[in-house]
Copies of this chain bind each other. A is one copy, B any other.
Amino acid sequence: MIDHSNRGSGSVTRERILEIAEQLFHERGYGATGVATVLRAAGVRSGSLYHFFRGKEALLLGVLARHLALLRIRVFEPVERATDDPLERVFALLQLYMRNLESSGFTLGCLVGNLALEVADTIPTARVPIDRYFDTWSGEVQRWLEAAGGRLPADADRPALARTVLAVMEGGVMQARAHRELRPFAAAVGQLRSYLESLEARARRERTESGQSPSGEGRRPDPTRRGINGSAWRTW
């Protein structure tokens, strides 16, 4: 038996298969995309695909790995180029998804979100990279929120906030696709903005009350809460 783990990682054929499969999985979903469709679109015969991937599930894992590897280049870097303001980056990120929705006629939202709901239970091995993708995505948002330092209250739960941003994105994408309109998505983003502004306002208030100078990079806040028994637990 052939060892398929890492077969021809650099091969152009392998890359083309992954590229096409990613596109088709995003447009039609994993189950609805036949291997034959991938083969036809990639201009490749079945033997080649099964030379690089043990089967369709392995192809899915390859697509997910590639998708995660490209997350920074495709998403974070454009957003970070768009604005230096760490809090505005949150909204530039959400706007990126809104633009992609609109320019694709509300078909292309979040591939990983689609797969999370479609295969998380039926293909257990796929759940892990999906989970890791969400971790990375919200982790970057969390870093932006932490970079905002004292602009947010010290006790504001940044990890939980980052998970909320992800929820608003996925829930917004879902509603926008169902509605074929950005409006419900934009409404949720507007409320998120209003929430962050209220947090900034509170931070300003507390800062002037205690007579502190506005520090650009605030000290790292404590991201934990105390449980009733005194133990620390993470809220996300």
Contacts and interface: CB of A to CB of B under 8 A. Distances in A.
Contacts of A174: 113, 116-117, 167, 170-171
Nearest to A183: B236
Q: A-side binding surface: helix, strand, loop or mixed?
A: helix
A218 interface: no
A15 B114 CA distance: 29
Given A167-B171, A188-B167, A134 B178 contact: yes
Contact of A131 (B32, B109, B178): B178
Nearest to A130: B178
Interface string A106-138: 110100011011101110000100110010001
Contacts of A185: 167
Contacts of A150: none
B186 A235 contact: yes
Interface stretch (A42-50, A65-73, A155-163): A155-163
Contacts of A177: 116-117, 120-121
Interface string A131-175: 100100010000000000000000001011101101111111011
Q: Nearest 4 CB-CB pairs, A to B?
A: A167-B171, A187-B236, A160-B187, A171-B171
Given A28-B121, A28-B122, A164-B191, 11 more contacts: A29-B122, A131-B178, A157-B190, A163-B191, A164-B187, A166-B171, A166-B184, A167-B168, A167-B188, A186-B235, A194-B195
Interface of A: 27-29, 31-32, 106-107, 109, 113-114, 116-118, 120-122, 127, 130-131, 134, 138, 157, 159-161, 163-164, 166-172, 174-175, 177-180, 183-188, 190-192, 194-195, 198-199, 202, 234-236
